[in-house]
Amino acid sequence: MEFEDLVIASQEGDDNAFYELMKLNKVKLYRIAYTYLKNEEDSLEAIQETTYRAYTKLKKLKEPQFFKTWLVRILINYCFDELKRQKKCLPMLNDKEISQEMNNDRLDMEWAIDKLLPKYRDIIILKYFEDLRIQDIALILECPEGTVKTWLNKALNELRTIIKEGGH
């Protein structure tokens, strides 16, 4: 069954089709959730809540081909809500969970990304960590593609500045 057919079947009440959709997206969802929440338990909770919200609102999705971006948007919104609830402004690195093999460049990059404005951080994560296309990012963030390109350019420039200035 094609991906869009699974979405349509799910919208028509086929629980097995919905299960398959979630199975196909679980790794991507986990990576995104963990990028924001930096905690396995919170990330799994985010996926669970995203699954519930998607299941209960699936019939409202008008265009099945946008299921993946719609699902990611639900997850990101949940992560933002969770960070607000935990009174976290930005996801922080958890020293206990950072393996010793991770090099300083990666730590510096994560540190610099955490310093970005949320809209810039989102674009960097979606583009370079999740390898999404500009048009998919625009759908997820609900803004024009031109805005995504502008924000991406500004985010990269800001990242260069943060890393160049150091401070870490």
Residue reference for tokens 């265009």: 63
Per-residue pLDDT band at 90 (split at 50, 70, 90): very low
Alpha-carbon distance values, 152 to 14, 63, 100 (Å): 39, 26, 30
CA dihedral over 98, 167, 42, 134, signed as positive or negative: negative
Q: What is the pLDDT of residues 47-63, one digit of tens each?
A: 999 999 999 999 999 99
Supply 103's token pair: 């090099």
Say if residue 109's pLDDT is above 80: no
Per-residue pLDDT band at 89 (split at 50, 70, 90): very low
> In the chain, where are the structural domains located?
1-97, 99-167
The reported pLDDT for the residue numbered 16 is 95
CA dihedral over 38, 52, 64, 120, signed as positive or negative: negative
Q: Which CATH number fits domain 1-97: 3.40.50.2000, 3.20.20.70, 1.10.1740.10, 2.60.120.460?
A: 1.10.1740.10
Q: What is the pLDDT of residues 23-38, one digit of tens each?
A: 999 999 999 999 888 8
Supply 104's token pair: 């300083």
CATH tag, 99-167? 1.10.10.10
Say if residue 103's pLDDT is above 80: no
